[in-house]
Amino acid sequence: MTTGSWARVQCHFRCEHCQRRSPLNHIDMDGSVDCLRCGQANPFEPGQWFDAIDHARARALSGDAEVVALGNDAIRPHRIKQATMVIRAAAGQPTCPDCSEPLEVRRCAVGMLVVGCKSCDIESKYVLPSGTRASKPELGGAIAAAHARGVGEATVAQDSAGVQSVECSKCGAPLDHPPSAVVVRCGYCRITLRVPSRGLATEGDLEPEVWWLFFPA
């Protein structure tokens, strides 16, 4: 078992199209982030993640459960075409979604994080983007739905009237999911699927998900 410190994080950014806050529920290093409200892509400087990770690490090592924010998402002139993020971080400990027992780190190497619950005998694997592994080696891994390994992608369909739906990519059944749910289980064939960001766009209020960053000792 690997020891270290955890940071509980919530992130969002200000969309340059609709000017509203959109959750950012995983590390995205490809230079663009999609707004979960209007569905539009925003240019995004990946280097923002490096400051965010440093902030999360400082909070994790402090052992302080008080949430501290870093970043500024104030509405800016339209000539500035760059999404800016805010991270809220605190020290904490992720727990098993089934029994609420603390998760243990069973493996942490080369961007791969394996966590498990001893009581439930379950294990999950998460993989960091390659750019993160190279630039922030002190980050052991992240527990976030979008980083889960072995999860397929759901299908986003649109009918002739322009109505969008999210369907199981295996059996074609419609998927019933909350507006910001990144990972869902098909009610028919029971496989777990990741919902593409274009299938999450909504006009309602969206609260950033809580996810976790691990820093090995």
Task: Looking at the structure, tell me whether residues 53 and 133 fall in a common domain.
Answer: yes
Prediction pTM value: 0.82
pLDDT in tens, 166-176: 888 889 888 87
Task: Looking at the structure, tell me whether residues 77 and 58 fall in a common domain.
Answer: yes
Number of domains in the chain: 2
Show the domain range for 164.
Answer: 152-199
User: What is the number of alpha carbons within 13 Å of residue 99 lying toward its C-beta?
Assistant: 10
pLDDT band at 15 (very low <50, low <70, confident <90, very high): confident
pLDDT in tens, 148-197: 887 778 888 777 776 678 888 889 888 876 665 677 778 888 787 877 76
Q: ∠ CA(59), CA(61), CA(64), 5° rounding?
A: 55
Q: Which residue has the higher pLDDT, 17 or 117?
A: 117
| Residue percentage of the chain with pLDDT more than 90 | 44
Whether 87 contacts 55, CB under 8 Å: yes
Query: Looking at 146, 175, 208, which one is the last position of a domain?
Result: 146
Residue 24 has pLDDT above 80, yes or no: yes
Task: Looking at the structure, tell me whether residues 66 and 137 fall in a common domain.
Answer: yes
pLDDT in tens, 75-132: 655 555 678 899 999 999 999 988 999 999 999 998 899 999 999 888 999 999 888 8
C-alpha separations of 177 from 117, 152, 153, 180 in Å: 25, 16, 14, 8
**Strand ranges (DSSP E) for 77-158?**
85-91, 104-109, 112-117, 122-127, 141-143, 152-153, 155-158
Task: Looking at the structure, tell me whether residues 64 and 160 fall in a common domain.
Answer: no
